[in-house]
Structure 1
């Protein structure tokens, strides 16, 4: 043993047999586990029992012996032995919560492949996932729950302590990583949340500051597309569907991203409800977004078929002019008016 280091024992007790002792280096253990760091700092103020003239630093049930040895090996030589048993994985998580803080726990979990069934066991055993698991592991659990209809998603969302709102069909939320995708915007703090759909609910995670770009954008058609800064957010309307209200655009992974307010939502935060805004984050500017958002209205009433494919701007020059005029009127009034057959008839657009 290195004389410059502090050694001691961890005692594992059983009602049926003599205790088992595991020798540990306090300096090594205190680097990875908060409880041993506290013991190291308070050595002179604590009373210890002794074994072989060394202090007994801690006590655990004999059931924790196997996973404790795995953790000692990991912090000593940085090698994690795989644990396949759900029973042992469950014991490991409980032991980590006794010895480590949240950051330390999740660093170790990144070296393990946790069986999703382990989380079901931990839920039944009252594991404090809300305070001990980081966002990455909570998302992994949510994905597992989303794929298993026999699991009650609401129980697991509460287990993880994630804010959530109800998933309505009108929201058209898909679990996309790239853009376009939906996000949630908190107007009071000017922050975004990423979201994940878990069947009938949507959870919020990854709160990020809204960092707008304020440079003036050039446009080949300024009267159609003026996309410099965001709109004023004072006195927002109750119904956002009849408006296209834009936040300042952002540069995300070298892409220009526009953020359009989509709908008001009630988000549940630990027993309280906050009125936040569902946002559509997309590469499309306001004019393109106008065409995409209201395409169905124009296609539905036009007698000769589709004006244009949903998701694209008008392909016909005449209809492009119709949409351009409609967009100008929308920009003037700030309110969307559903089209009529007369307003979209090619002849009326040529007058």
Structure 2
């Protein structure tokens, strides 16, 4: 897998640290509530929190991105909610069958037509989860307009995955990049780690927003803490050169190792070099071997130089460790 992460600098040096000219200002977002929504919430307040008075259209918008367990819990609030959430509970069944048909699970053969039909039936009942899955399938088969339309609807209903997917589709059009960054920011605030990483890339590259290294590093670190392996690698580089974060070799080494242990080939190469410089030849060769197997050709030369310094027994041990290595779980 090609692991393109750290944005290239104009002169080709990824380690060039540039001065931060502007402080990071978060984009502001304004939301307008319809008159019916405002009236509904006034009604709730005046009725001493009688949840059953919440109109069905407002209820379903609030619960549009709920998973089945959350829907089942919300349905227990009152009889009115149970009835109002019935379409969304039905949508979860269509979503389940759509995934079965898409991936060939649960004793059924893969069938993209049936998968899409199931997702669309779930989407028609108001589930943003089904909208996103239908959008993904439309995108895969090349019908990007329909995919974007579904992402837009789900994003407006507050689904972070839809917001991220919509932003990524908008980033492909220069005229929509500013809007894309706004959606990435919205999803990032909700804790969507892929959106956090993509927002960091936009800030780092100045894509759709003023270039801001401090803001980029902050979102790289946020996504890294959430388990996004590419963000771990970029956070390590930020710490290594002091770009957007206070320079810290200890923090750089920590995040580089975390990325390496989760299968990031460039991180394995660089962590291997770091171990070699510290005299940890056996550990260094393991990471360099893994990086070589992952396509980092530069790692092979360093690995071979170190191998020549090891005994036959040590070489066999190193290769055995590499053969039996498994990456730690992560988000890509």
Say whether the fold is shared (TM-score over 0.5).
Answer: no
Instruction: Judging by fraction of residues, say which structure has more helix.
Output: 2
Instruction: Judging by fraction of residues, say which structure has more strand.
Output: 1
Task: State the TM-score, normalizing by the size of structure 2.
Answer: 0.29
